A and B are shown apart, each in its own frame.
Chain A
Amino acid sequence: MYKSTGFISFVLRRFTGVVLVLYLFTHILVIGSATQGKAAFDATLKIVQGPLFKIMEIALIAAVAYHAFDGVRLLIVHYFNVIDYRKSLFYAAFAVAAFLTAIGGLLILQALFYKA
């Protein structure tokens, strides 16, 4: 195992990629329940609007934000000669993802506790 900042970034990118694919299936499953009528759709929505799923949504924001901004990092590396700033780019992707997760997470938690 060759540990480095790049390795952490690589593992996170792959992991969040798998998470996003799994989320997509869940998403289709939930939305797809609408084809079985209003009652079935409402019942499914009730499940996914519980506190557990809200917490999982925060994790989803983290996955989306990290995967997206790691992609932005790759685009920057591809189109500009920024190899000297490679470490900073990793940290920037981590920081932006953490920042967006914090904002999104706070909003979700606020809605959750405000309702309760």
Chain B
Amino acid sequence: MPDSNQQPTTAIVRIQRFNPDVDKKPHMQDFTVPLTPGTTILDALHQIKTEQDGSLTFRRSCRHAICGSCAMNVNGRNVLVCKTPLARELDKQGCVTIKPLPYLPIIKDLVVDRSSFWEQYLRVKPWLIPPDNVPEKEFRVSPEEVEALHNAETCIMCGACYSSCQVIAMTKHYVGPHAALKAFLRVLDPRDTAPAERLADLAGGDGVYRCHTIFNCIDACPKNLNPTQAIETLRKLAQKRQAMEEARQERQKTLALPVKSEE
């Protein structure tokens, strides 16, 4: 009789499979994988692909939570599988359920079509639009101004927030939490010259006012970022975008000069 205190040595990984050439709709398939204390869910997927079923398809790259490729839906929550321990996600039967990111078209198995994600990302012009007179040496931005951007700058574009968003489930025209967060980063950047133009787009019908404040994006973010707060800030700024534009023009006159704390 096995010792009941002993840790289980295997786990059941239940994966949603879909092969567009053969299947009409997705189905679930169980695999049994070896379980050690350090096994992540990505390790389990690799084990299945290399030793059990080579046709299992999923995206992954860096395996240390910075490339944003391996976002999947594990037990109903969007996570990066490379940084999620397998043992933590197992239920009482020693089983974990893995599905592709919800609300997005499935290409194969755990790979989804992220076109709408990138379309919305490009829509907010995620690049910096610098002033004409770029200083010879450097822009001088105060620590307070940098601090305000801290919420947005570590996004890895994994899509976990995007595909947990209930508004995205209803319309792919919505800007989405990832793009709103990027827009927030640019709008609040003192070097950017077009805050009013960005806010005008975000104040439109498919912009930040469409957010339903459900907070799924915060709960899903593997980097503990806060898209909802960014959206709330953009909502407030969008109401006074002309004043914002004037303040920005004023600020840029002193952008090449030393900041106050250095004087």
Which chain B residues lie closer than 8 Å to A81 at the CB level?
229
What are 26 A-to-B residue pairs whose CB atoms are below 8 Å? A2-B73, A2-B78, A2-B102, A2-B103, A2-B166, A2-B169, A2-B216, A6-B166, A6-B213, A6-B215, A6-B216, A6-B219, A7-B166, A7-B214, A10-B212, A10-B214, A13-B212, A77-B228, A77-B232, A78-B232, A78-B235, A81-B229, A83-B215, A83-B226, A83-B229, A86-B228
Task: Decide yes or no whether B76 CB sits under 8 A from chain A.
Answer: yes
Nearest B residue (CB) for A3: B76
Task: Decide yes or no whether A29 CB sits under 8 A from chain B.
Answer: no
With A10-B166, A78-B235 already in contact, the answer to whether A4 and B214 are too (CB < 8 A) is: yes
Task: Decide yes or no whether B155 CB sits under 8 A from chain A.
Answer: no
Which chain A residues lie closer than 8 Å to B169 at the CB level?
2
CA gap between A2 and B235 in the complex, in Å: 25
Task: Decide yes or no whether B164 CB sits under 8 A from chain A.
Answer: yes
The interface on chain A, measured as residues whose beta carbon lies within 8 A of the other chain's beta carbons, has a size of 16
Which chain A residues lie closer than 8 Å to B226 at the CB level?
83
5 A-B pairs with least C-beta separation: A6-B214, A86-B215, A2-B164, A6-B215, A10-B214
Q: How far is the CB of B19 from chain A (nearest CB, A)?
A: 23
Task: Decide yes or no whether B218 CB sits under 8 A from chain A.
Answer: yes
Task: Decide yes or no whether A9 CB sits under 8 A from chain B.
Answer: yes
Q: How far is the CB of A69 from chain B (nearest CB, A)?
A: 14
Assess the A77–B213 pair: CB atoms within 8 A.
yes
Question: Which residues of B, 138-153, contact A by the 8 Å Cβ criterion?
Answer: none
Nearest A residue (CB) for B220: A2
Which chain B residues lie closer than 8 Å to A86 at the CB level?
215, 218, 228
Nearest A residue (CB) for B226: A83
Nearest B residue (CB) for A80: B232
Which chain B residues lie closer than 8 Å to A9 at the CB level?
214
CA gap between A106 and B213 in the complex, in Å: 32
Which chain A residues lie closer than 8 Å to B214 at the CB level?
4, 6-7, 9-10
Which chain A residues lie closer than 8 Å to B164 at the CB level?
2, 4
Mask, B76-119, CB within 8 Å of A = 1, is 10100000000000000000000000110000000000000000
